[in-house]
Amino acid sequence: MELDKAYNHETVEDRIYKMWMDSGYFNPDKLPEADKREPFTISLPPPNVTGVLHMGHAFEDTIQDTVIRYQRMKGKRALWVPGTDHAAIATQAKFEKEHYKKQGKSRHDYSRQDFFEMIQEFALANQKGILSQLHKLGLSLDWSRLAFTLDKDRELAVRTAFKQMYEAGLIYRAHRVVNWDVKGQTTVSDDEIEYEETKTKLYTFRYSQDFPIPISTTRPETKVGDTAVAVHPEDSRYQKFIGREFDLEFCNVPLHIKVIADKEVDPAFGTGALGVTPAHSMIDYEIALRHNLPLKPVINEFGKMTVGGALLEGKKTAEARLAVAGWLKNNNLLEKEEDTTQNLSRAQRTGGVIEPLPKLQWFINVNSKFEIRNSKLKSIKDGEKITLKDVMKRVVQNGQIKIMPERFEKIYFHWIDNLRDWCISRQIIYGHQIPVWYKNAGEATGNRQQEIYCDTNPPKGEGWQQDTDTLDTWFSSGLWTFSTLGWPPSAKASEGKLNDLQIYHPTSVMMPGYEILFFWVARMILMSGFLLGDIPFRQVYLHGIVRDKQGRKFSKSLNNGIDPLEMTGKYGTDALRFALVFGAAPGNDVIFDEQKVKGMKHFGNKLWNISRFVLTNLENSKFEIRNSKLEAKGITDADKDILAKLGAAITNVTKNLDNFQLHEAAQEIYQFVWREFADVYLEASKEQMKDKVLAENTKKLLLHILINSIKLLHPFMPFITEELWQKLHEAKLLSKDSILMVSDWPKEHK
């Protein structure tokens, strides 16, 4: 019954984790009476296989493990699905950068298949390291269901989803203006752009001496691609010019400019007149669509000018900007030059400058109506025609999906209201290649028409070429909650037997960081709504970002990153987990301080010492511990007080965990164990055990409180609590449940 003088996490954690793995209980189907349990499912937000896990992952995974362990102890059929994300652009960019440093070669030096396999080998090696880290954090993931967004099962799911959406008219191919990453040489979505505030110039000028309207811009080099000048229809300054057309020459480039009226123009910005460049601005492109304006591309994929002769052609945009400014001055067309700031758009993954360019790409139409099939959506009837945008809005509006904290709902709706068609094609090698094949590609002339084939498998016969583009990573990860549970259902599925999709989907809660609300959460709702006629999850718990003591994000440039395994090696996994959860309210950023982790190690030692005290005093006890009841005549005020406070702690911890207020639950159990149990009742028990009448009750109470404290703490600090549970079991102080992980959640003492 003796415990070591101090808890040593180094000798405990690997042994305990192996015991959990050997038990098989991470797989909910192997839990006792699994079929009678209510399912509770979480899908792990899959970490990118670009490197190793960071402190943000440790925080995110800890809160999920806390919830899944709690639900398992409450008797749920608790499934936590593990997996990793191939993160196409990020992984290829990192691999190519490292490979070029070592070998001096790029993707262009290899065949497509060879380069793909090289990146895949790199990704899977990283995945192996990530999975090892997840084990070290004590996570109770069902490893038998491990998934990868680029494995064979997910490939079938992606191709099936693409085919169904294509056949429904929701996926189309068209020339549209997209965000082009000049460095990565691929499109990126609106949500994958970062903005860098830079100092620049605001130029006010006229195209020519006889052009009547001055315009203002920070990018004069794009004006050689203008096809219109837009003014607000109620702007009295320009009423007489609306509808007029002008032919002129600007920087050696002929322009045909039409003056149009558009309500989206801000009369207060600059001169109140906007030079419309449809080929190189998302806003201008939308204006062009409304007014049937032509597109005139003047910048290529490498960010260089394609017109303007010796003045501009072949120059990068920054150099061309200065050349245009000089030309304006020389021709007395520059009316004003002001210092200003501007948000420079950069690709999140490569850091490359973003140029809006017209490109032939694949898109998902978010405004086109489709027919809901097998609807399980509230207020959306089976067979109803609805848009993807409306599906995403209504499932949150009607409460079928709840977003926590609630303040993010308004942000979510605002994003959807401004959502453009989703560009899903990428010009990279790593990822899911678009499942479309062409015959007579580029030969749609005369009697020979290009044939297009879309299916989950390649077409038979010769002459077919598959589209070389790959799909946006978020397309495959948008299928995550159901593609990991057996969608699309196999034709070989057993009849009469429920499959994973029927049992575990929709999932119970999704717990990502708030920064991917739009990247991922919204797209999962979109995909599930169309493909399943259902929601992907019932609750969204958005957590914050882990920051350093100064409130800064962890980053390589600041050199302030902290390896979570360094902390677990130093203080133990439980200490890190409890420190991360302790002050983390939903949706709020977390300030990481190593002193907090150190403090939680002290708390773990406190629990260990409490357990040593209790076990020591239970030696040679005369009562039957496993079925003991308190003797009424020996109950003291101190006993009544600790029982009342234990009952309150159980009630409050349970309530807070049910409501995903993990930080409140952690603080509640911390205060009870340290203050009420250790500081107050343990001291009172020392005196009570000197009295023969009171001693037996006191010992029973000490064991009762210790058992319940260990249970309450287990979701937060699984290793030390499981080790103590095993010690109690070895001492035959427990009547059942040889593994704490599957023991019953404590009930309020009566």
CATH number for position 629: 1.10.730.10
Q: Is residue 228 located within the same domain as residue 300? A: yes
Find tokens 């599930």 and name the residue: 528
pLDDT of residue 399: 95
Q: What is the pLDDT of residues 414-454, one digit of tens each?
A: 999 999 999 999 999 999 999 999 997 555 444 556 789 99
- Full domain range(s) for residue 538: 31-170+388-419+474-543
pLDDT of residue 490: 78
pLDDT of residue 128: 95
How far is 129 from 144, CA to CA, in rounded Å?
18
Q: Is residue 190 located within the same domain as residue 166? A: no
pLDDT of residue 383: 93
How far is 504 from 629, CA to CA, in rounded Å?
40
pLDDT of residue 734: 82
Q: What is the pLDDT of residues 585-595, one digit of tens each?
A: 999 999 999 99
Q: Is residue 604 located within the same domain as residue 667? A: yes
Q: Is residue 332 located within the same domain as residue 395? A: no
pLDDT of residue 360: 95
- The answer to the question of residue 206 being in a domain is yes
Going by C-alpha positions, the residue among 124, 121, 122, 117 that lies closest to residue 146 is 124
- The answer to the question of residue 560 being in a domain is no
Q: Is residue 158 located within the same domain as residue 191? A: no
- The answer to the question of residue 442 being in a domain is no
Q: Is residue 259 located within the same domain as residue 394? A: no
**Among 311, 343, 360, where does a domain finish?**
360
State the pTM of this model.
Answer: 0.92
Residue 212 sits in a domain whose CATH number is 3.90.740.10
pLDDT of residue 444: 46
Residue 78 sits in a domain whose CATH number is 3.40.50.620
Domains in the chain, number? 3
Q: Is residue 198 located within the same domain as residue 302? A: yes
Q: Is residue 624 located within the same domain as residue 520? A: no
- The answer to the question of residue 365 being in a domain is no
Tokens (6 digits) for 135: 């084990």
- The answer to the question of residue 192 being in a domain is yes
How far from chain centre, in Å, is Cα 306? 39
Report whether pLDDT(628) > 80. Answer: no
Cα angle, residue 508 at apex, residues 503 and 142 outer, rounded to 5°: 65
Q: Is residue 144 located within the same domain as residue 202? A: no
Strands of 39-43's sheet in order across: 77-81, 39-43, 507-510, 537-541, 402-404
- The answer to the question of residue 658 being in a domain is yes
pLDDT of residue 557: 61
Going along 85-192, which residue ranges are E strands? 147-148, 171-181, 186-188
620: left (phi over 0), alpha (psi -120 to 50) or beta: left
Higher per-residue pLDDT: 747 or 77: 77
Report whether pLDDT(255) > 80. Answer: yes
Q: Is residue 601 located within the same domain as residue 737? A: yes
pLDDT of residue 429: 96
Q: Is residue 323 located within the same domain as residue 191? A: yes
Average pLDDT over residues 292-319: 96
Confidence of residue 559 (pLDDT cuts 50, 70, 90): confident
- The answer to the question of residue 647 being in a domain is yes
Q: Is residue 355 located within the same domain as residue 212? A: yes
- The answer to the question of residue 298 being in a domain is yes
